[in-house]
Amino acid sequence: MPGFEGSFQQYDCVADTHHGVSMRDGAVLYADVYRPALSGQAVEGKWPVLLERTPYNKDRLSYSVSGRYFAKRGYVYVVQDVRGRWSSEGNFAFLRNEADDGEDTMTWLASQPWCGDRIGTVGISYTTATQQALAIRHPEKLATQVLFDGAYNYFRQTMRHGGACEYAIAFQYSVSMARTGKQAVANPRIRAQLDEMWKDLPKWLRHQPLRQGASPLRLTPDYEQWFFDMLTKSDYEDWWKTPDLAIEEYIDDYPDIPLLFETSWYGHHITATLWKYEQLKNRHKTPKKLIIGTWLHGGDMFVQTWAGDVDFGSAAALEDNNSLRLRWLDHQMKGMTTGLDEEAPVQLFVMGGGSGRKDAMGRLSHGGRWRDEQEWPLARTRMTTFHLNPDGRLAEQAPPEDAAPITYDFDPANPVPTVGGNFTNYGTTGFLEGGGYNQNSGTMSGDHSPDLPLAVRPDVIVFRTDPLEDGVEVTGVVTCTLFVSSSAPDTDFTVKLIDEYPPNEDYPNGYALNLGDSILRMRYRDGYDRAELMTPGEVYEVQLRLQATSNFFAPGHRIRIDISSSNSPHYDVNPNTGEPLGLNRCQQVARQSLYVDRVRSSHVDLPIIPPEA
């Protein structure tokens, strides 16, 4: 709310660093405690407390900044290294111990002499998952949470999606964590080798499949095991169904407390955040607020106006994250009037409407604006079916009755390169970056294929509307229904939604802006509990669900859908052999058929928002 400054900065701060907290099994996890102070001494009394549990080092500057920011405004801020990371004892296991350890930490907090009646939790990504895991234990004094871009079910989104492994995220993240793990910190030789390997990350991302014991992670076996679990545990089994990895399984146990959700159209937890918001909003009575911006995942990126190669204009910048959190926390934990009661429960950024020219930084000026909404999904949505026609048109008109299928060959040795999308760059700047990009091969530095539009590849099947006479807003989740067959016992199909700009002086060939994508591994076409191979040549009806988006397709633009069978290295490449995933020894070219006749009409359903009166 413009003009609201939050709790007055009336204190100094003192930090009680490296404070040990004992867990139920005797392991000691260490935390830094930032307290309000005057004249260098902590002010006695009870305060509202904020907790963040992190695997990313409690000593990093950003946590110190947050701690001092909130302590000066009358909060106690506690940041704790999770088990097995940095200063804390025990062995780190990715999202395995956070429910128990979080509950024990909350119990300790509630017993401290400076802890008031309310404890709030904050965080992003992993530190959002730690909040969710402890919440289902209903700890004493838990009053509110700020859930910034965190998972709902790592199997359904983030580490796997559509039966495929989100390879770029899983591998980069595991290597990044291994470099700062205890083995690397204790052994300079291991750290040096991991650092050297990090420089060759693009090479390793292209090298699929990796072999356990022969991968760059072999020097840190625990982290290597975690990566290969993500890669090879492709059935939705009990291993995935912990409260840490899949809060979805425990959603009925979630406490009815006020929740602030923050995410973005190009963040890799966008789908997860919207699922959580919908489910908890429908179950609970307490306030739920949802903010959807344009930034990439990670860090304090609210003030950025771009994502990848695309800029959304100065309006896209939001107040910094601490200021935003302060408004929420002041209202929910201190009972202050911050204007939240007068705000809409949903604030989203509608992308599009910009000039389409290059800005001073060389990015596409795509534009956009913030808009208040009363719900998600939007009640006024008009789902509209667009058919994939054999002549390449994307139209509401149904295809001919006798249209022949469109065929193409998918060669796993020559996958369609990833160009932007909903994922995080952990160390591949210039090679693999999230956000919006012109869909050309050769865009990323590790892609040595010719600088040509992906649309000219024979394994990318393009469908586009006629140039739009009037602008069209698409806000919501796009679904794509395909009728397909393959010569292979298992294969993938992919879909991508694109805003296709007409040519101008800056972009003489136009600009194909990616908005969302999806993938389906066909062995999981009937569900993820168990794999079922295909019968070669048999026609299957399948549905792919893209990430949510909000985009205004301006007059003169085209709505475009790309169909293919790979998007690498965002997703691991299917070898088309039906072998156990991540363990294949062979690969083969698959002949794919996409059916576009009247009876087997492949189509997309677009959530179109009617123009404002």
pLDDT tens column, 126-164: 999 999 999 999 999 999 999 999 999 999 999 999 999
3-state SS, residue 128: helix
248, part of any domain: no
Are residues 125 and 18 part of one domain? Answer: yes
Report the chain's mean pLDDT, rounded to a whole number.
95
User: So what's the pLDDT on residue 445?
Assistant: 53
Q: pLDDT confidence of 565, banded at 50, 70, 90? A: very high
Domain with 174, as residue range(s), is 160-240
Tell me the C-alpha to C-alpha distance, in Å, between residue 173 and each of 159, 217, 234. 10, 12, 18
Are residues 370 and 389 part of one domain? Answer: no
Are residues 40 and 176 part of one domain? Answer: no
Q: Per-residue pLDDT averaged across 244-265, rounded? A: 98
Does residue 40 register a pLDDT over 60?
Answer: yes
Q: pLDDT confidence of 442, banded at 50, 70, 90? A: confident
User: So what's the pLDDT on residue 375?
Assistant: 98
d(CA 572, CA 569): 6
155, part of any domain: no
Lowest mean pLDDT among 245-259, 298-312, 390-404: 298-312
Q: At 531, which amino acid appears? A: A
- 416 alpha carbon, distance to own chain's centre: 21
Are residues 412 and 355 part of one domain? Answer: no
Last residue of a domain, one of 318, 351, 376: 376
User: So what's the pLDDT on residue 304?
Assistant: 87
Are residues 513 and 369 part of one domain? Answer: no
60, part of any domain: yes
Q: Output the six-digit token pair for 65.
A: 């900044």
Q: Which residue has the higher pLDDT, 177 or 340?
A: 177
Q: Per-residue pLDDT averaged across 500-515, rounded? A: 98
Other C-beta atoms within 10 Å of 543: how many?
12
131, part of any domain: yes
Are residues 338 and 405 part of one domain? Answer: no
Q: Per-residue pLDDT averaged across 168-184, rounded? A: 94
| pTM (two decimals) | 0.96
The domain that contains 296 carries what CATH number?
A: 3.40.50.1820
Are residues 544 and 442 part of one domain? Answer: yes
Residue closest to 501 by CA, chosen among 340, 365, 400: 365
Does residue 426 register a pLDDT over 80?
Answer: no
263, part of any domain: yes
Q: pLDDT confidence of 1, banded at 50, 70, 90? A: very low
Measured distance between the N- and C-terminal CA atoms of the chain, rounded to whole angstroms = 26
Are residues 366 and 259 part of one domain? Answer: yes
Q: Per-residue pLDDT averaged across 395-404, rounded? A: 97
247, part of any domain: no
Other C-beta atoms within 10 Å of 20: how many?
12
User: So what's the pLDDT on residue 3?
Assistant: 47
* Exposed/middle/buried for residue 414 (C-beta within 10 Å: 0-12, 13-18, 19+): middle
With pLDDT > 70 as the criterion, what percentage of the chain qualifies?
A: 96
Q: pLDDT confidence of 486, banded at 50, 70, 90? A: very high
Q: pLDDT confidence of 200, banded at 50, 70, 90? A: confident
Last residue of a domain, one of 148, 179, 212: 148
Q: Which residues of 120-155 are buried (b: 16+ CB within 10 A; e: fewer)?
A: bbbbbbbbbbbbbbbbbbebebbbbbbbbbbbbbbb
Are residues 495 and 351 part of one domain? Answer: no
Does residue 299 register a pLDDT over 70?
Answer: no
With pLDDT > 90 as the criterion, what percentage of the chain qualifies?
A: 87
142-148 and 115-124 strand pairing:
parallel
Last residue of a domain, one of 322, 348, 376: 376
Are residues 67 and 89 part of one domain? Answer: yes
Tell me the β-bridge partners of 42: 37
Q: Per-residue pLDDT averaged across 241-264, rounded? A: 98
Does residue 469 register a pLDDT over 60?
Answer: yes
Does residue 591 register a pLDDT over 80?
Answer: yes
The domain that contains 462 carries what CATH number?
A: 2.60.120.260
User: So what's the pLDDT on residue 427?
Assistant: 59
Are residues 334 and 186 part of one domain? Answer: no
Are residues 300 and 437 part of one domain? Answer: no
Question: Between vectors from CA 273 to CA 92 and to CA 202, what angle results, nearest 5°?
Answer: 55
User: So what's the pLDDT on residue 5?
Assistant: 57
Q: How many domains does the chain have?
A: 4
4, part of any domain: no
Q: Which residue has the higher pLDDT, 439 or 430?
A: 439
246, part of any domain: no
Q: Which residue has the higher pLDDT, 317 or 382?
A: 382
